[in-house]
Amino acid sequence: MMTTLKPSFATGPYRPGTLLRNFVLSPLDPASWRAAGAILMGLFIGTFSFALLAALFSTGGSFLIILVGFAVVGIGVEIARIVARVERWRMTLVDPRPLRAHTYRTYGHGLRAAAEAEFMDENRWRDVIYVLVSFPLTILEFVVCVAVWATSFGLLVSTLAYFVIAGAAGDRMPASLSNGAPIPLVAVAFVLGLFLLAVAASLSRGLMRLHRAVVEGLLCTNEREELRLRVETLRESRSAMLQVEATELRRIERDLHDGAQQRLVMLAIDLSLASDRIESDPAGAKALMSDAREQARQALAELRDLVRGSAPAILLDRGLVAALGSVAGRCPVPTIVESALAPGERQPHAVERAAYFVVSEALTNVAKHASATRCEIRCRREGDRLIVEVWDNGVGGAVTAPGGGLAGLRDRVEALDGVLLIDSPAGGPTLLHAEMPAAQGWPAA
Amino acid sequence: MVIAEDSALIREGLARLIEETGGTVVAKVGDAPSFVAAVLEHRPDVSVVDVRMPPNQRDEGLRAAIEARRLVPGTPVLVLSQYVERQYATELLADGAGGVGYLLKDRVSDIAEFMDALHRVAGGGTALDPDVVAQLMVLRRRDDRLATLTPREREVLAAMAEGRTNLGVAKAMGITEGATEKHISSIFGKLELPETQTAHRRVLAVLAYLGS
């Protein structure tokens, strides 16, 4: 099958002999007939989709002001998307090399994001433009094709009929049937019919090749475009990642400066005062030393909390679920951990850290603001997504203010190509939902 | 005794502390495998192990302590760590034998407390960090029976969970031993725990209650 199809789209060196042979034999190539069928099909698809879109867009357009119009236009855009899919398939009838659809924006969460995906997506509008462009093209293709095919069939059928009738009648053929045309003229008409048959076959394929170029240009992705998109996403997530790291470093720097560092300074002061006084005022020196010990103890505790906030030891040692159990155990609001992850299942460290950070920050918020009496941490994996949720029965009303703690969490999750959602109606309950890409079946470390 | 600690500073500091208070350090090692080997060789009265040690700087010390206690059943081990986690305490206590300690490294700075914990562990008792006990109490907060305890009784329960003897509890709280005993029997009554003889069994009962 492949070998018979090959000439229809082979781009090898064109030798005049091959070209001529291909032309002469083109009516015998099934691809030519499929091309003719595809052009016929195209007429229906082109006309029908154009009419449908024209109706939807004009109706929708006149109702835009009452918003219903947007829905109608949206339906039109989606129909164009279906047409695009059908058209990509139609092109492969003649040339089986697959066409890869361009990518569409996903709807995301919320009405606004959905509307943006529907109406601001370049590729969705390319589908619509295609429907507009393809309508006159399909008509033109059809008309040209029908003219040539029909002429060729007409000539062939009539000349063949002439020969058949002439053969049957022998010498007694009535002069009226031949229209007085001499035999050589009929033979020329027959050859012309054969020639036009080859023209029609080659022309059908040529037109489909042109149409395919239009489809490739408007409805398909190519490697360069894909790479461009990939680079764009990578650049975005890299900059988000750097931002997250920078924020984290600033936080650590600030905590060290405000906490442990100050304590160590006090400790040094207490100790030098004590050594000055140790002979003149032993009791005072002793009190200073016990102060110094207290400062040291506090500094250690603060350092421990600082590290626990971002990269606790148990997370590295025992993984996410154990670390979540530990952080739940420290939360002043009664908190339970429900994990549907396999025991010992590990994720890439960056993912575990982000998930831990989200939960740990969420629990801090719950303890500070929610006035909750119950809190639940849930984690599970859905396919290649790791899902972590924190639920509490508190007062709700949590919002993501720019620069706030929740915005920081969102940045962190998005840096890993994840999604963070917060549902916190006034009066509660609050559900924080984080989704991150996960590796399936990572072995226990 | 055997000391396993990869930081030379703290290793020497611990050794000095122990030798100044009359103990003898028979081996000072810096990684987990040599710790297990030293315990097998010296059969010390007590060992002190850091959780984080080479080669991986993760929980080798904890695993080594459990391994050493498997090879030399009941050998007393005091595990020190920069961070305490309830789960690690549970793993250490899992074999049911006494002579286990699990403390924050900071506690070493209170020499009297630290030596008391070390002696308790050497004597087959338990020394759990107050931080671990606090984590356990947090977990049990919703329990109605725990809510019936008076604040004083809760303090006594926490001190018991740390592994203190009656006398130790009394000292730590600044009350008489008789008052302590009264509190303890009241606690056991309220929590419906069976009275047991040895301090370690009592700790296990309390921990089992808190951890369940």
Q: Is the dihedral of CA A18, A20, A25, A27 positive or negative?
A: positive
Strand partners, B121: none
- In chain A, which residues have their Cβ closer than 8 Å to the Cβ of B79? none
Please tell me the distance from the alpha carbon of residue A150 to that of residue A157, in angstroms, as a whole number: 10
Strand partners, A375: A335, A392
Quick one: closest CA in B to A323, which residue?
A: B85
Question: What is the predicted pLDDT for the residue at A332?
Answer: 83
Indicate whether A272 and A391 sit together in one domain.
Answer: no
Contact between B142 and A332 using a beta-carbon 8 Å cutoff = no
Question: What is the predicted pLDDT for the residue at B212?
Answer: 52
Average pLDDT over residues A336-342: 87
If pLDDT is split at 50, 70 and 90, which confidence band does B196 have? low
Give tens-digit pLDDT for A261-290: 888 888 888 899 999 898 999 999 999 998
Q: Choose, out of A263, A294, A314, A327, the residue to mutate when testing the contact with B (most B CBs < 10 Å).
A: A314
Question: What is the predicted pLDDT for the residue at B65?
Answer: 92
- In chain A, which residues have their Cβ closer than 8 Å to the Cβ of B82? 304, 313
Indicate whether B178 and B123 sit together in one domain.
Answer: no
Q: What is the mean pLDDT of chain A?
A: 83
For A297, which of B51, B109, B141 is closest by C-beta distance? B109
| The last residue of a domain, from among B69, B101, B128 | B128
Question: What is the predicted pLDDT for the residue at B168?
Answer: 85
How many domains, chain B? 2
If pLDDT is split at 50, 70 and 90, which confidence band does A136 have? very high
Q: How many CB pairs under 8 A join A and B?
A: 49
Contact between B87 and A326 using a beta-carbon 8 Å cutoff = yes
Question: What is the predicted pLDDT for the residue at B141?
Answer: 59
Give tens-digit pLDDT for B31-71: 899 999 999 999 999 999 998 888 778 888 899 999 999 99
Output the domain CATH number for residue A345. Answer: 3.30.565.10
Q: Does residue A149 fall inside a structural domain?
A: yes
Question: What is the predicted pLDDT for the residue at A104?
Answer: 86
Indicate whether B53 and B16 sit together in one domain.
Answer: yes
Please tell me the distance from the alpha carbon of residue A22 to that of residue A18, in angstroms, as a whole number: 6
| The last residue of a domain, from among B128, B157, B184 | B128
Question: What is the predicted pLDDT for the residue at B142?
Answer: 58
Contact between B86 and A329 using a beta-carbon 8 Å cutoff = yes
Quick one: closest CA in A to B58, which residue?
A: A317
Give tens-digit pLDDT for A64-81: 877 888 888 889 999 999
- Over 90: is that where the pLDDT of B84 sits? no
Indicate whether A415 and A398 sit together in one domain.
Answer: yes
Instruction: Give whichever of A44-48, A305-309, B11-15 has the largest mean pLDDT.
Output: A44-48
Q: Is A424 helix (H, G, I), strand (E, B) or coil?
A: coil
Contact between A308 and B83 using a beta-carbon 8 Å cutoff = yes
Question: What is the predicted pLDDT for the residue at A179?
Answer: 55
- Over 90: is that where the pLDDT of A413 sits? no
Indicate whether A266 and A374 sit together in one domain.
Answer: no
Indicate whether B80 and B8 sit together in one domain.
Answer: yes
Q: What is the mean pLDDT of chain B?
A: 85
Q: Does residue A282 fall inside a structural domain?
A: yes
If pLDDT is split at 50, 70 and 90, which confidence band does A2 have? very low
Give tens-digit pLDDT for A177-234: 445 556 778 888 888 999 999 999 999 999 999 999 999 888 888 777 778 888 888 8
Q: Does residue A442 fall inside a structural domain?
A: no
Question: What is the predicted pLDDT for the residue at B39?
Answer: 93
- In chain A, which residues have their Cβ closer than 8 Å to the Cβ of B58? 313, 316-317
How many domains, chain A? 3
**Strands ordered across the beta sheet of B126-128:** B27-29, B2-4, B47-50, B77-81, B100-104, B126-128
If pLDDT is split at 50, 70 and 90, which confidence band does A433 have? very high
Contact between A304 and B82 using a beta-carbon 8 Å cutoff = yes
Q: Is B142 on the interface with A (CB under 8 A)?
A: yes
Count of residues in chain A = 445
Give the structural domain span for A170.
2-8+15-221
% of residues, chain B, pLDDT over 70: 93
- In chain A, which residues have their Cβ closer than 8 Å to the Cβ of B142? 334
Indicate whether B110 and B171 sit together in one domain.
Answer: no
Q: Is B109 on the interface with A (CB under 8 A)?
A: yes
Indicate whether A205 and A305 sit together in one domain.
Answer: no
Q: What is the DSSP string of A106-155?
A: ---SSHHHHHHHHHS-HHHHHHHHHHHHHHHHHHHHHHHHHHHHHHHHHH
Question: What is the predicted pLDDT for the residue at A171?
Answer: 56
Question: What is the predicted pLDDT for the residue at B200?
Answer: 66
> What distance separates the 2 farthest-apart alpha carbons in chain A?
152
Residue of A404 and A382 predicted with greater confidence: A382
Give the structural domain span for B156.
134-211
Indicate whether A292 and A421 sit together in one domain.
Answer: no
Question: What is the predicted pLDDT for the residue at A170?
Answer: 59
Contact between A332 and B138 using a beta-carbon 8 Å cutoff = yes
Q: Does residue A91 fall inside a structural domain?
A: yes
- In chain A, which residues have their Cβ closer than 8 Å to the Cβ of B85? 313-314, 322, 326
- Over 70: is that where the pLDDT of B143 sits? no
Asked if B65 and B79 touch (Cβ cutoff 8 Å), the reply is yes
Please give the single-letter amino acid code of residue A232.
Answer: E
Average pLDDT over residues A379-394: 90
Average pLDDT over residues A388-397: 89
Output the domain CATH number for residue B181. Answer: 3.40.50.2300
Of A387-396, A399-408, A429-438, least confident by mean pLDDT is A399-408
pTM listed for this prediction: 0.60
For A313, which of B83, B86, B136 is closest by C-beta distance? B83
Tell me what ipTM this predicted complex has: 0.71
- In chain A, which residues have their Cβ closer than 8 Å to the Cβ of B138? 329-332
Indicate whether B143 and B196 sit together in one domain.
Answer: yes
| The last residue of a domain, from among B128, B163, B192 | B128
Contact between B87 and A325 using a beta-carbon 8 Å cutoff = yes
Contact between A314 and B109 using a beta-carbon 8 Å cutoff = no
Average pLDDT over residues A396-411: 78
Question: What is the predicted pLDDT for the residue at A67?
Answer: 80
Give tens-digit pLDDT for A4-13: 444 444 444 5
